[in-house]
Amino acid sequence: MPPLSPAEPLADVLPERRPQHIAVIMDGNGRWARRQGLPRIEGHRRGVASVRRIVEEATRLGLRQLTLYCLSSENWKRPARELSFLMHLLEQYMIEERQTLLRQNVCVAIIGRRDGIPADTLREIDKTIQLSAANSGTRLCLAINYGGRGEIVDAVRRIAAEVRNGTLAPEAIVESTIADRLYTAGMPDPDLLIRTAGEMRVSNFLLWQISYAELWVTNRCWPEFREEDLHAAIRDFAGRDRRFGGLSGS
């Protein structure tokens, strides 16, 4: 990340102490709406505004990657009307924010299974991915119809097929063999995992990739999440002693 000017809220946080990849479980849209006396779908609409703010701030800070948990594989249990609205919001975001993302040099990617996502929504997602593929700024990775266990299952299936075909020996399987067959192949693991709405669980999100991520939880629901909350998470991360199994200061 580039150094910030003295007027910036993170000016005193050294670039090497800041996370390069932040993943976010965007929770609490429905609870926020209920507290405001609004329908759940209004919470999702306001959640998109938070996405817009945080993506813009991530690019301004020079974050290498921002991964957002948009729709889990378990979310298909929700009412059909709510799911349809979520797909509409996603499609609308891809259309309305496309030029802004391109102007900000953002590279868009998605992880998750494509089945179940409407064709019109996929078309707009794929268009944005294609147009932004050569961008060299922040990678915005959207987890859609995503589940960490399902991702590992898909990776194991790929490995099993390669073993069966004779292109991979079982004794040659190491951690990188699995990592290279996950949806996130080629992406860095998250340094920091943020969860909103005060929930103390990872909800089947990036189970392999967050092995050494720092966790930061806020009671704010996602529609309430602001740039200063992101700054607070980064500042807290910078003050932690990350040992990766070693001794402090080693």
Nearest to 147, CA basis, from 183, 177, 180, 116: 183
Q: List the one residue out of 223, 219, 199 whose CA is nearest residue 42.
A: 223
d(CA 31, CA 29): 6
What are the tokens at 238?
A: 């910078």
145 given a catalytic annotation:
no
Residue 27 catalytic? yes
155 close to 182: Cβ distance less than 8 angstroms? yes
DSSP secondary structure string for all residues of 104-126: TTPEEEEES--TTS-HHHHHHHH
- Which of 12, 75, 120, 241 is catalytic? The answer is 75
Looking up tokens 């849209």 gives 29
Strand-by-strand arrangement of the 65-72 sheet? 107-111, 139-146, 65-72, 21-25, 192-195, 214-217
Asked if residues 145 and 112 have their Cβ atoms less than 8 Å apart, the reply is: yes
Active-site residue (options: 12, 27, 180, 204):
27
Q: What is the rounded distance in angstroms from the CA atom of residue 89 to the CA atom of residue 71?
A: 12
For 60-76, b/e burial (b = at least 16 CB within 10 A) is ebebbbbbbbbbbbebe
Of the candidates 81, 83, 91, 110, the one whose C-alpha atom is nearest the C-alpha of residue 183 is 110
Q: Catalytic site residues?
A: 27, 75
